[in-house]
Structure 1
Amino acid sequence: MPILTRPRRQRARYQALSIPARRLSRVAPALLWFHRATVNKTILLVDDDLHSREGLRQSLVGGGFLVETAQDGAQAIKRMIESEVGMAIIDLDLPPVKGVTISGWDVVRICRAFDAAMPIIVVSAEGGPEVKARAKELKVLECLEKPIAPGQVKGIVRAIDP
């Protein structure tokens, strides 16, 4: 049964690792645990601002989480399709792409379509009762107002997924 592993010198390529059938019974539980651990810790981070996105990404990766990033709604949808995401952090103010506007709220709805129980944190420059009411309506776990500290977000994520 081939298993994908990363070679030491090449970061982007994977190579197949063959495990003999007699050893598979000892290795399979560890692989299952690793799969569950990484799927539950994969976070989709959607933010159009490069500095905010990279600061949050570095903080979360430093906390032991796998992070998929997207700079707009279209990329966020692509990342949702390509990988199994356990949690999402979404900036509500996303730019239009090729004339099509996919707002942060649209991305929240799409995340809900993929997984109704997915923990979602939204980040917005504009707070207020309208944003909080809409977040509550879409069952958003946390609604943060910019500017935010990466440590604050990491603490919230740890509380959700210890």
Structure 2
Amino acid sequence: MEIRDNSLKSLMVVDDDDQLRNLLKEIFSRINYQVITACDGADALKKMMQVKVDLVILDLIMPEKEGIETLSDIRVNYPETKIMAVSGGSHQLNAPMLLNIAQTLGADDVLKKPFDLNEIIEAVDKLLN
């Protein structure tokens, strides 16, 4: 496996699940990405006004400002930022349906929860390198 210098790449993990958010932060920090976290879409957009982000890993089901609305806002205001939408679905919509909507709205990649850690690492590497 080729070793890359990811130190100049930044990503934001947006998820209301504290454990998953912290796990992804730890994993991507270990492979030298600069990682910012946000607990919902409103928090993410506020932080994006202050810091440039190369990639947003965005949960689609969250309280406050949910993922589909946040994805649309990021696409309009930060068109150069890559977006990876992730979802396990909801009571109203299953994950494939939500992820299809995300792709239609401009997500660069989608991943169904639960996902394998190697799967998300490879997907991020593909989007950013």
- TM-score of Structure 1 vs Structure 2, range by shorter chain: 0.7 to 0.9
Which amino acid is the alignment partner of residue 51 of structure 2?
Answer: S
Matched residue SS, 2:12: strand
Matched residue SS, 1:112: helix
Alignment of 1:120-131 (within 5 A): 120-126=83-89, 127-128=95-96, 130-131=97-98
Q: Which residue of 1 aligns with 2:69?
A: 106
TM-score (norm 1): 0.68
Offset of 1:104 from its aligned partner? 0.4
Aligned partner of 2:18 among 50, 75, 79: 50
Once the two structures are superposed, residues 98-135 of structure 1 have per-residue CA deviations (whole angstroms, 9 ceiling, x without a partner) of xxxx110111112112222321101111212x323312
CA distance in 1, matches of 2:120, 2:58: 12
Flag structure 2 segments of 5+ consecutive residues without an equivalent. 1-6, 90-94
Q: Identity, % of aligned pairs?
A: 27
Say if 1:48 and 1:71, in contact at 8 Å, map to a contact too. Answer: yes
Which amino acid is the alignment partner of residue 120 of structure 2?
Answer: V
Say if 1:44 and 1:67, in contact at 8 Å, map to a contact too. Answer: yes
Matched residue SS, 1:120: strand
CA distance in 2, matches of 1:161, 1:83: 17
Q: Does 1:82 align with 2:50?
A: yes
Which amino acid is the alignment partner of residue 104 of structure 1?
Answer: G
CA distance in 1, matches of 2:99, 2:38: 23
TM-score (norm 2): 0.83
Which amino acid is the alignment partner of residue 125 of structure 1?
Answer: G
RMSD over aligned Cα atoms: 1.4
Determine which structure has the larger helix proportion and give its number. 1
CA distance in 1, matches of 2:102, 2:42: 21
Aligned partner of 1:156 among 91, 114, 123: 123
CA distance in 1, matches of 2:116, 2:28: 12
Q: Does 1:66 align with 2:34?
A: yes
Q: Which has the higher contact order (CA 8 A, sep 6+)?
A: 2
Q: Which residue of 1 aligns with 2:99?
A: 132
- Flag the structure with larger Rg: 1
Aligned residue pairs, count: 118
